[in-house]
Amino acid sequence: MNTVFEAGRDIPVAGETDVLVIGGGLAGIAAAVAAARNGAKVLILEKTIALGGLATMGHVCVYLPIDDGAGNKIYGGMVEELMHVCHRYSYDNIPECWKSGDWVVENPTGRYQCTFNIPAAVLALDEYIKEEGVEVMFDTSVCMPIMEGNACKGVIVENKGGRSAYLCRMLIDASGDADMLFRAGAECETQKSIVSSWTYELDVEKIREGTSINVLDNITMRWFGLRPDVDNSGSPIPTFYGTTADGVNDYIKLSRTLALDYLKEHDKPGYAFMTMPTLPQFRMTRRLKGLAEMECSEGKHEPHSIGAVIHCLEAPAAVYEFPYEALIDAKIENMLAAGRMVSAGGRGWEIMRCIPNCVLTGQAAGTAAAMAIKDGVAVQQINVEALQQNMADTGIMIHMREDLRDHTTKEAKPPKRRPADKKSAGGIASDSLAYQGKPREQH
Ligand SMILES: Cc1cc2nc3c(=O)[nH]c(=O)nc-3n(C[C@H](O)[C@H](O)[C@H](O)COP(=O)(O)OP(=O)(O)OC[C@H]3O[C@@H](n4cnc5c(N)ncnc54)[C@H](O)[C@@H]3O)c2cc1C
């Protein structure tokens, strides 16, 4: 490869904080707020111009189940809290049965989930972090961690002001792609992703026909590319790495070509796309291979669990425990992972990328970072029992209840994989799911 020489230079230090959170997705927000609540000064650096990450700029406004599909509440703490924040100014379609504090769903009729209005969630998240005393710097792309041995002293960023540095005592990588941990030398795993892009469409004809007079009911999701729950092995659509410049570029171009082809086919009066995603919609790209890996052993207790987790698409869902050491590298002493890039391989990665689990690991990473600062220790040396107690006090189920352990082993079934349908083999798998209105039940 050809190279050019970039001369070394002094760059201004734009700010200094206790905890720097890289990425303002839902994991980064949970991490930042948890760290602030535990006494740290916190700054989020976000490359786009809004909070929420894939859940807003990537159009994934679907808060997957916080119950296990058998009526048991699994997630409390910030997982439940952020669901309510995303709905603060949105239409309310949180299932009624999820609204009381310590709920149990009697005779559940299926899998519940809720969706939220994206602009309303973006505005609510701005307000939320302000209330919590967290600062954010938008339109700021973090380029490199500044390492001294195994310690991260801060980061180099690029934004409208050019290149500058932010210094910190702890760094939480919530970039979704483990960019900071990887560039700091942590061991990571990458994988290719299918093109699977969402937008939202409005068919005014249906309203004119009198099928429905509610405009909101007629905004539906339109899906381009491949579905992750089907066998795509015969599809001609290529897969892409979300960790290379060319991979991201090609993914974006192809997902937009698929959208354009669809729009050309459906070009008619009264039909419109409402919005386009402004983040590439990659599910799993690069993840940490940490001091521990999440094990998907049904019913197994992890002594250092930071929370019980479920596969959000199963019913009844298998319950697992996620170990603290899967948030950290073996050597790097002041960096933690949060969100869809934590240390969980295979099925574990699929489980941990879902929004509730991203928020859970965010809360744990933020709390742990603040504790490490208070105790003056490395992230490998924090008092995990104290972290567990702190999380439990907010309503997190640290270890799975015995009855859940039992039902996990006996009844849990993996989600069924469907064969690819003709449309997806031909290039476009489209699916129109209810974007809003009633909470959707999945059977
Ligand atoms: C098509 C699709 C459908 C999905 N469906 C569902 C679903 O139905 N339900 C569900 O629960 N989950 C779903 N998921 C998964 C879920 O949306 C994500 O895994 C989750 O939102 C990830 O949250 P996060 O905070 O870990 O990461 P992200 O949301 O990826 O946030 C990362 C943030 O970091 C920022 N960032 C990245 N690099 C830098 C940098 N260098 N400098 C500064 N900022 C940076 C990004 O701009 C972004 O804001 C889906 C994902 C996709 C792609």
**How far does the centroid of ligand 1 lie from the alpha carbon of residue 370, in Å?**
24
Stretches in the chain below the pLDDT threshold 70? 102, 109-110, 210-215, 217, 406-443
Q: Ligand 1, residues 51, 54, 182, 230: which to mutate, most atoms within 8 A of Cβ?
A: 54
Whole-number pLDDT of residue 219: 79
Q: Ligand 1, residues 49, 60, 232, 243: which to mutate, most atoms within 8 A of Cβ?
A: 60
**What domains can you pick out in the chain, each with its CATH number?**
11-190+286-303+323-398 (3.50.50.60), 192-283+416-442 (no CATH)
List, for residues 80-106, the tens digit of each pLDDT value: 999 999 999 988 888 887 887 767 777
Whose Cα sits closest to atom 3 in ligand 1?
60
Least Cα distance to 46 among 62, 32, 63 occurs for 32
Q: From the CB of 283, is ligand 1 less than 6 Å away?
A: yes
Q: From the CB of 337, is ligand 1 less than 6 Å away?
A: no
Q: Ligand 1, residues 312, 355, 430: which to mutate, most atoms within 8 A of Cβ?
A: 355
Whose Cα sits closest to atom 15 in ligand 1?
354
Whole-number pLDDT of residue 211: 63
What pairs with residue 136 in β-bridges? 44
Whose Cα sits closest to atom 39 in ligand 1?
175
Whole-number pLDDT of residue 214: 66
**How far does the centroid of ligand 1 lie from the alpha carbon of residue 54, in Å?**
4
Whole-number pLDDT of residue 275: 87
Q: From the CB of 355, is ligand 1 less than 6 Å away?
A: yes
Q: What is the pTM of this model?
A: 0.92
Whose Cα sits closest to atom 19 in ligand 1?
353
Whose Cα sits closest to atom 37 in ligand 1?
175
List, for residues 299-353, the tens digit of each pLDDT value: 889 999 999 999 887 777 889 999 999 999 999 999 999 999 999 999 999 999 9
Q: From the CB of 77, is ligand 1 less than 6 Å away?
A: no
Which atom of ligand 1 is least distant from the CA of 358?
26
Which atom of ligand 1 is least distant from the CA of 196?
1
Whole-number pLDDT of residue 433: 33
